[in-house]
Amino acid sequence: MAEIKSGAEDVRWDLKFLYSGVDDPKLGEDDALLIQKIKDFNAEYKGKLAEKLGKAIADYTEIKMLSDKIQTYLFLEQSRDTGSPAIKAKAAEVNRLISQASGEYLAFFDIELVALSDSTLEKFYVTDPFAAKHRPWIDYQRIFKPHLLSEPVESALTKRAPFGEEAWSEFFDELEADLEFAFNGEKKTLTEMLNLLSASKDAAEREGALKVIDEGLIGPFAKYSAQTLYMVIGSAAVERMERKYKHSMEARNKLNRVADETVDALHKAVEDVAGPLNKRFYRLKAAHLGLDKLKWSDRNAPLPFADTSIVPFEEAIATVLAAYESFSPTLAGLVKDFISKKRIDAPAVKGKRGGAYNSSLVLPGNEPASLTFLNYLGSNRDVTTLAHELGHGVHGILAGAAQGALMAHPPIAYCETASVFGEMTTFNFLKERLAAQGDKKSQLALLMEKIEGILNTIVRQIGFSNFERRLHGMDKDLKEWKEPGKLSVEEVSGIWMETIKSLYGEDGEIFTYANTEHLWAYISHFHRPFYVYGYAFGELLTQSLYAKRKELGERFEPLYLELLRSGSTKTVTELLEPFGLNPADEKFWADGIQTSLGALIAEAEKLSAEMGISV
């Protein structure tokens, strides 16, 4: 693996506030304590929720905090060392024990909770402060009442969870982390190869890199990826039928607390409004690159005049911190805490899981914590990713402190709010700095890269969602659901190419598509059915929110911080009401696209014209 000095090499987590290692005696003690708490919970509350609801929720919260501490620690350790036999063995053992105990002793809780009468619940809301505080959580659980199965079945499903599609997905992560690609006389990881596509100004190098990636995915890895998808899709289909969901996306939509119609409207707006803007942008990019048509390897390429030098991690942190400070000292203070407490793991090293994420939790004692995981190589996109993940982090801390373990995590559809907001704050901070310097070329390079990022989040993720919908049984016209079947690698690749072309144009219209057929194979988000549309949902929601900053002035920051502190206690409609926004309005999505993408593309076209480039 080639060594890229980004200044992130020594920026590693210090996880001792959780455990000192997988052999820490405290980890074993907490495992035993958790299992005992689960057993005691069953003995104390089964059949008695109508008498002890508030205390039951309090004890259930204690179980969740301890369980999250144990399982999050092991997940974090696995992320930074996917090949460690000791970590894998410990994680498998603990997950099995927790699943077995939860299936045996906790399956009754959801079933009995949603069966409580309205009058019983109202009594607790009046007399028990803890139950009253958790009313939003109880209401959320009751959404799924029609879909719960009998206690023995729920118990069996929970016990078997570690041995199903989850296990396939975990092994997928290990295989992906071990992928190596021979390129330019060096062995490179998938993360490094993908970075070349957005960092290299050499078109031939990018084209060669894409060819090596696609060819490297063909064969055993693509076959395993297709089989993993089959396990995920098959399990989801059985769950849908047994739990009596109307279609494959209904469960995710309910988890996100959004109506099917709202999600359909999002997809349609992206296809109808963002799709043409997508093509318009890439025509402009082709003009800047001096090309008539773009290869797929050119999609994320830097402009000829873009600064592609490595941004040292220290500089990236300073930039993001200054951007956050310019908007909210409260949020900047939380970011400083992450740095001082070593809650960021930054370098891209062999054996480490790919990508980036934030993991937030509430620890025993109601102490919120947040950890950020990166593969930082020093690109401008990596700086954006840093701002994004730290946004998740501040969201997790604020919501965890305000709402506690059961209500800290907002649904996927709007958990992206703070992360996208962090990106936009950092982008505008940098843009204003360049404008003050009168550097129009750098302004345009930054602007084009930001537009590309938004397109990747909106258009590309809805393309991913349409790909998923096809795999889960939707017809080619995306109108009718049918039963899914097992697909070969070639069939999956065929659907992949159809969904790409539906949003990016037919072969030769704007792009040519050589060496793209197998790129679906490395995307692990497909192992969480219909997760990806949440990115587009969150991006557009936040762009609409961000546009309100100027209008609301000083009133905006406290309203925004209150939104973040709400966790999962409100629906998206309730969250946006103070800002005068309504996502249930069918115009909301189209307006959000025009307000963000439309305005930014128009600005890029204007700056380009001033440089003598037009389409």
Spacing of C-alpha 234 from chain mean position = 23
pLDDT of amino acid 5:
84
- Residue range 87-96: average pLDDT? 95
**Higher local confidence (pLDDT), 4 or 96:** 96
Measured over the CA atoms of residue 93, residue 94, residue 97 and residue 100, the dihedral's sign is negative
> 481: helix, coil or strand?
strand
Number of domains in the chain: 1
Q: What tens digit of pLDDT does each residue of 493-505 get?
A: 999 999 999 999 9
Residue 474 pairs in a beta bridge with 481
Euclidean distance between CA atoms 452 and 593, whole angstroms: 14
- Residue 443 identity (one-letter amino acid): Q
Classify each residue of 153-169 as buried b or exposed e, where b means 16 or more C-beta atoms within 10 Å of its C-beta.
ebbebbbebbeebbebb
Over residues 195-246, the pLDDT tens digits come to: 999 999 999 999 999 999 999 999 999 999 999 999 999 999 999 999 999 9
Over residues 63-86, mean pLDDT: 97
Paired tokens of 357: 């994420």
Q: How confident is the model at residue 4 (pLDDT cuts 50, 70, 90)?
A: low
428: burial class by Cβ within 10 Å (0-12, 13-18, 19+)? middle
Q: Is residue 124 part of a domain?
A: yes
Residue 500 lies in a domain: no
- Alpha helices, DSSP H only, in 46-164? 49-80, 85-105, 107-115, 118-127, 129-133, 135-142, 151-160
Mean pLDDT of the chain: 95
The pLDDT of residue 78: 96
Kindly state whether residue 487 falls inside one of the protein's structural domains. no
Q: What pLDDT band is residue 2 in, cutting at 50, 70 and 90?
A: very low
Q: Exposure string (b/e) for 232-243, b if CB count within 10 Å is 16 or more?
A: bbebbbebbeee
Q: What pLDDT does 166 receive? A: 84
Q: What is the pLDDT of residue 1?
A: 43
Could you read off the pLDDT of 251-263 as tens digits, one per residue?
999 999 999 999 9
Residue 3: predicted pLDDT: 55
Give a yes or no: residue 107 inside a domain.
Answer: yes
Q: Tell me whether residue 36 is in a domain.
A: yes
Torsion-angle region of 271 (φ positive above 0: left; ψ -120 to 50: alpha; else: beta): alpha
pLDDT in tens, 550-575: 999 999 999 999 999 999 999 999 99
Phi and psi (nearest 5°) for 472? -85, 5
How many CB atoms lie under 10 A from the CB of residue 479? 7
pLDDT at 308: 87
pLDDT above 90 covers what percent of the chain? 93
Structure tokens at 451: 């537009």
Tell me the C-alpha distance between 81 and 89, whole Å: 13
pLDDT value of position 615: 87
Within a domain: 331: no
Residue 277 lies in a domain: no
Locus of tokens 């959004």: 258
Q: Could you give the angle at the alpha carbon of 178 between the alpha carbons of 174 and 181, nearest 5°?
A: 145
Residue length of the chain:
615
Mean pLDDT of the 8-31 span: 97
What pLDDT is recorded for position 165?
86
Which CATH number covers residue 145?
A: 1.20.140.70
Read off the pTM.
Answer: 0.91
E strands present in 184-334: 186-188, 294-295
For 474-478, what is the mean pLDDT? 93
Structural domain that includes position 55: 24-163
Determine the pLDDT at residue 164. 84
Categorise residue 16: left if φ over 0, alpha if ψ from -120 to 50, beta otherwise: alpha
Which DSSP helix (H) or strand (E) runs through 181? strand 181-183
pLDDT in tens, 385-415: 999 999 999 999 999 999 999 999 999 888 9
- Residue 86 within a domain: yes
pLDDT greater than 70 at residue 276: yes
pLDDT mean over 74-78: 97
Sheet containing 344-347, strands listed edge to edge, beginning at the edge strand earlier in sequence: 344-347, 367-376, 357-363
The whole-number average pLDDT for the span 299-316 is: 94
Give mean pLDDT, residues 335-360: 96
Would you say residue 595 has pLDDT above 80? yes
Residue 454 CA to residue 539 CA, distance in Å, equals 8
Per-residue pLDDT averaged across 155-181, rounded? Answer: 90
CA distance 114 to 93: 31
